[in-house]
Amino acid sequence: MDDQDLEYVGFWPRVWASVIDSLLVSMILLPLLTRIFRVEKSTDDLLALLSGGGGNLFLQMLQPTGTMDFLVSWVLPAIAVIIFWKYRQATPGKMAISARIVDAQTGGAPTTRQLIVRYLGYFVSTIPFGLGLLWVAFDPRKQGWHDKMAGTVVVRPRHRGPAEVRFDPPK
């Protein structure tokens, strides 16, 4: 596809793509994590947490319970996202908005190294109050810090809607 037929994908479409991806990941990981965390907390623990007397219970609930939790919570999503990026240049959310990740210089498929840097760049982008993600709204090429770190841009076809409406003139 010619670069004249592409546009940079802005902030709000990327937010919606992220929402779609988050919902899909949650639907897959929630059952796994429920089993790993063995959510058998008693009602008393929950009531203590809600009444403010739970101490560190909330923090204990957020802490990993072991290797499986770490693998399912952190490693599995990272591998899945990078595999989607590698073979489809997009996650399901980006596919839903017809977007794909490309190398910022060539417009071709990013290297595996770029994709790993991009994924790790998400953490850098979110640490300062999400400013690296918000940067997409103001950057001329719609790059977040993670894109800048990896040398990637997110693009989609400029004319992606249904065909133009045309009426035949009466004869």
Q: Give the pLDDT confidence score for residue 159 in this predicted structure.
A: 72
CA angle 11, 14, 20 (to 5 degrees): 145
Q: Give the pLDDT confidence score for residue 51 in this predicted structure.
A: 59
SS percent in the chain: helix, strand, coil, step 5:
60, 10, 35
Mean pLDDT of 89-95: 97
| pLDDT surpasses 60 at 4 | yes
The identity of residue 155, as a single letter, is: V
The percentage of residues in the chain with a pLDDT greater than 70, rounded to a whole number, is 74
The token duo for 46 is 């929950």
Instruction: Tell me the pLDDT of the chain averaged across its residues.
Output: 84
Backbone φ and ψ of 157, nearest 5°: -60, 140
Backbone φ and ψ of 100, nearest 5°: -150, 155
pLDDT 10s digits, 40-86: 444 455 555 555 555 554 555 555 566 777 888 889 999 999 999 99
